[in-house]
């Protein structure tokens, strides 16, 4: 009987394999050793991104009584970062992340400390501009993280898409928590507390990030004997000379103007309506909507035609950014909060798709420089938007009118992207 049962053929139902559970794309990228460590350190280093400008605006406007001055100071610092950032990124590409990021961050932290002391001591206005300009050496931690992902998954486009989506969501998380923390510190502890804590977090985070050497991409040293500004044979060309990249940078410039003006407009609007401590929460809602949409985008496969997806994302961003202007005109904080949350859902998809295009169009060996140029364009736009938002807050008759600045910047970003997308079609028709 036992032999009969042993010899009995097994039914197909018995040997049917159980279906394997499909791994989440995020679980797959974080299964690589070292990725969790540098991601955690990078988040700590990037949290001050959402704190520094808000802290500076609250600190300067509270002590000097002028949003125009506060916006001009932050605009100067961001403009200086736009000039210095590509050079810092080029040094990172040539000498490695750890060797350059740590001393550059130390200089930036000293600049923040100098700004704090000048505001507290009642120093002349020009010292505020000089101090905040010294923060321009802050390394692009987000760009360095993206460079690590690109190095780890250089042969896996789907994994790079997921990693880029996560990085954009991480940026949005920093802009979600940063303004709330900065506003809380500046309004409940001391006006200078936000700047002091942000500088300490920046330095600590970059030190921890630089210590993760296992995932650091290799440096690409400059060829010996280079004396001319043109790259010699064998060296990758500068990203600014790469076809298709300059128009992207213009779109990033206009997108940065959205962020800068939206930040100042929200703080001024909340102040005018008597709920200044809630300004950080309002900005956090916009970042929350963006971060959620960025994470959802990472679950989708990469776009077959990323340029077309980018145009659609920018169009959605331009449409949704009219909502805060309409909501602000009603004077209802609840409607404004809902409008900012909804408008935020379009920014991360545009940024993720745009960063993917930047990576695909940047020459090998210049990846960190190319992504820093994109961030530099964003910072230059944020600087312009901060100055324009500060001017609007001080000179326009209604606080709600300040939201016209980000709406106009979004329309400009759409116009640039649409013009760029239409150019290849016009060239093709001329050839025919």
> In angstroms, rounded to a whole number, what is the distance separating the alpha carbons of residues 239 and 358?
9
If you ran DSSP here, which 8-state letter would residue 322 be given? T
Number of folded domains that form the chain: 1
Band of residue 1 on the pLDDT scale cut at 50, 70, 90? very low
Picking from 182, 210, 208, 184, the residue whose alpha carbon sits closest to that of residue 197 is 182
CB 386 within 8 A of CB 71: yes
Within-domain flag for 6: no
| Residue-level pLDDT at 198 | 93
Within-domain flag for 231: no
| Residue-level pLDDT at 318 | 94
| Residue-level pLDDT at 164 | 81
- Over residues 359-383, the mean pLDDT reads 74
Picking from 298, 346, 304, the residue whose alpha carbon sits closest to that of residue 322 is 346
What percent of the chain is modeled with pLDDT above 90?
A: 21
| Residue-level pLDDT at 224 | 56
| Residue-level pLDDT at 208 | 94
Within-domain flag for 16: no
| Residue-level pLDDT at 293 | 84
Task: Identify the CATH number of the domain in which residue 336 sits.
Answer: 1.20.1250.20
Q: In this predicted model, what pLDDT tens digit does every residue of 306-319 receive, in sequence order?
A: 888 899 999 999 99
- Over residues 199-210, the mean pLDDT reads 94
Q: Report the sign of the C-alpha dihedral through residues 155, 157, 162, 168, in that order.
A: positive
Within-domain flag for 398: yes
Within-domain flag for 31: no
Can you give the pTM of this predicted structure? Answer: 0.68
CB 133 within 8 A of CB 116: no
| Residue-level pLDDT at 414 | 93
Q: In this predicted model, what pLDDT tens digit does every residue of 378-415 receive, in sequence order?
A: 777 877 887 788 888 778 878 788 899 999 999 999 99
Within-domain flag for 372: yes
Q: In this predicted model, what pLDDT tens digit does every residue of 108-144 receive, in sequence order?
A: 999 999 999 999 888 888 999 999 999 989 888 888 8
- Over residues 177-183, the mean pLDDT reads 78
| Residue-level pLDDT at 240 | 63
Phi and psi angles of residue 185, each rounded to the nearest 5 degrees, phi first: -65, -45
| Position 290 pLDDT exceeds 70 | yes
- Cα angle for residues 289, 293, 296 (degrees, 5° grid): 145
CB 341 within 8 A of CB 289: yes
Structural domain of 416? 37-219+239-431
Q: In this predicted model, what pLDDT tens digit does every residue of 220-263 receive, in sequence order?
A: 776 555 443 444 444 555 666 667 788 888 999 999 899 888 88
> In angstroms, rounded to a whole number, what is the distance separating the alpha carbons of residues 325 and 407?
8
| Position 276 pLDDT exceeds 80 | no
> In angstroms, rounded to a whole number, what is the distance separating the alpha carbons of residues 174 and 48?
7
- 3-state secondary structure at position 191: coil
> In angstroms, rounded to a whole number, what is the distance separating the alpha carbons of residues 153 and 170?
19
| Position 10 pLDDT exceeds 60 | no
- Over residues 331-356, the mean pLDDT reads 87
Picking from 257, 284, 200, the residue whose alpha carbon sits closest to that of residue 389 is 257
Per the listing, tokens 């940063």 go with 178
Within-domain flag for 11: no
Per the listing, tokens 């590509």 go with 86
| Position 11 pLDDT exceeds 50 | no
| Residue-level pLDDT at 389 | 84
What percent of the chain is modeled with pLDDT above 70?
A: 84
């Amino acid at each position: 009987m036992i032999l009969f049962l042993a010899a009995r053929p097994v039914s197909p139902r018995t040997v049917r394999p159980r279906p394997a559970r499909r791994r989440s794309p995020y679980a797959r990228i974080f299964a690589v050793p070292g990725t969790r460590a540098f991601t955690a350190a990078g988040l700590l280093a990037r949290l001050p991104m959402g704190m520094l400008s808000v802290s500076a605006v609250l600190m300067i406007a509270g002590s000097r009584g002028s949003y125009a001055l506060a916006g001009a100071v932050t605009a100067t610092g961001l403009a200086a970062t736009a000039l210095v950032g590509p050079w810092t990124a080029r040094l990172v590409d040539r000498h490695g992340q750890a060797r350059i990021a740590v001393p550059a961050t130390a200089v930036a932290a000293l600049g923040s400390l100098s700004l704090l002391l000048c505001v507290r001591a009642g120093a002349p206005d020009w010292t505020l501009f000089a101090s905040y300009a010294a923060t321009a050496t802050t390394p692009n931690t987000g760009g360095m993280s993206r460079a690590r992902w690109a190095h780890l998954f250089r042969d896996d486009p789907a994994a790079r898409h997921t990693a880029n989506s996560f990085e954009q969501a991480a940026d949005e998380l920093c802009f979600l928590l940063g303004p709330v923390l900065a506003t809380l510190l500046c309004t409940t502890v001391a006006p200078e507390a936000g700047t002091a804590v942000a500088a300490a977090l920046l330095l600590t985070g970059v030190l921890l990030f630089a210590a993760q050497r296992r995932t650091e991409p290799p440096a690409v040293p400059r060829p010996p004997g280079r004396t001319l500004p043109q790259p010699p044979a064998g060296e990758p060309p500068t990203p600014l000379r790469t076809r298709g990249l300059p128009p992207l940078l213009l779109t990033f410039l206009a997108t940065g103007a959205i962020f800068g003006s939206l930040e100042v407009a929200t703080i001024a609007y909340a102040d005018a309506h008597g709920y200044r401590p809630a300004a950080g929460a309002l900005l956090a809602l916009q970042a929350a909507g963006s971060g959620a949409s960025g994470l959802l985008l990472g679950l989708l496969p990469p776009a077959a035609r990323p340029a077309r997806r980018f145009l659609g994302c920018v169009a959605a961003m331009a449409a949704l950014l009219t909502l805060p202007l309409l909501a602000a005109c009603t004077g209802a904080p609840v409607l404004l909060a809902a409008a900012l949350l909804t408008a935020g859902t379009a920014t991360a998809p545009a940024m993720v798709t745009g960063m993917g295009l930047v990576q695909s169009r940047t020459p090998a060996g210049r990846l960190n420089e190319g992504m820093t140029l994109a961030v530099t364009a964003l910072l230059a736009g944020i600087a312009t938007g901060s100055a324009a938002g500060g001017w609007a807050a001080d000179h326009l008759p209604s606080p709600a009118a300040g939201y016209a600045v980000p709406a106009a910047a979004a329309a400009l970003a759409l116009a640039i992207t649409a013009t760029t997308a239409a150019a290849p079609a016009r060239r093709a028709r001329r050839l025919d």
